[in-house]
Homo-oligomer: A and B are copies of this chain.
Amino acid sequence: MIKAGEYVLLYHSDRIKFLVSVQENGSFSTHRGNIDFRQITGKEYGDWVETQYGTRFYLLKPTLADLALKVKRTTTIVYPKDAGYMLLQTMIFPGARVIEVGSGSGALTAVLASFVRPHGRVYSYERRPEFSANAVDNIRRYKLDDVCEFFVADPVEQGFQQTDVDAVFLDVPEPWALVRAARQALKSGYPLAGLVPTFEQLRRFTSALSAEGFIRIRAREILERGYYLRETGIRPVDRMVAHTVFLVFAHKANIRNEQE
């Protein structure tokens, strides 16, 4: 039974759907009419409700991808296609302790928090206070704040407060400036991940990783292609998101002293 405080995906179609936080009172407005929250509470997931104009919305359990894509955005967000791939190429597991820079809008934070629960920890750094505040807000609304700690700080200058973490995620314009600090925080033999949109960044970031004793340095790009499933025929969608970021992965090796 759905209760106030839960998130529900109001689903009419792939184009008309809304992620809503159910309240005790009041209503949710759409261009297809309103849904009174008391229509929702007491119903089960999978049930449907209708607006006054007869538009039907199903009450679906939001997936993690729904939550990540619908955070209140102050920045570009990490896409599910990229977040999912990073989960498998780094050391994320229930109980993991991981660092993330920057917090951005909290989309990646939410994904990481969901999978380190209940005993893990996400340490999320962000130097712009207003971005951090928004990320904190998003994480709180998703009730993931029990495993997240936010820092308004610039780790380029101050480094990280944690050591022996299982993974480090760098989603900043100049990740090369953080490679040394990441190295100090990361467990030896464990992986780091970075996200950069341009080739110039890719070159500079991977060069820094190599210079700072990281090995197994790899760059990947994940593309997501949708398909129309129409009665008249199946075919790939006409237009797609063609590029988000290049994903970079590397493992910390104990070779730094030799090089110095």
> How far is B82's CA from A222's CA once the two chains are assembled, in angstroms?
10
Segment from A25-33, A41-49, A124-132, A152-160 that makes contact with B:
A41-49
Contact A198 B242 (CB under 8 A): no
Contact pattern, A 193-223, Cβ under 8 Å of B = 1, otherwise 0: 0000111111100100000000111111111
Name the one of B48, B111, B118, B234 contacting A199, with C-beta atoms under 8 angstroms: B234
Segment from A83-91, A98-106, A134-142 that makes contact with B:
A83-91
Number of interface residues of A (CB under 8 A): 80
Chain A residues 159-201 with CB under 8 Å of chain B are 187-191, 197-201
Contact B253 A242 (CB under 8 A): no
Contact A117 B91 (CB under 8 A): no
Contact B200 A233 (CB under 8 A): yes
Interface of A is mostly: mixed
| Known A198-B232, A199-B233: A85·B94 in contact at CB below 8 Å | no
Give the oligomeric copy count.
4
**In the assembled complex, how far is the CB of residue A255 from the closest CB belonging to chain B, in whole angstroms?**
7
| Known A45-B190, A189-B46: A233·B63 in contact at CB below 8 Å | no
**20 pairs across A/B with beta carbons < 8 Å?**
A46-B189, A48-B255, A58-B189, A58-B253, A60-B216, A63-B88, A64-B91, A64-B93, A81-B222, A83-B88, A95-B118, A198-B232, A198-B234, A200-B203, A217-B229, A219-B229, A222-B223, A225-B242, A227-B246, A240-B240
Task: Sort A-B residue pairs by CB-CB distance and give the 9 closest, nearest first.
Answer: A45-B189, A198-B233, A46-B188, A84-B84, A236-B243, A240-B242, A46-B189, A219-B227, A94-B94
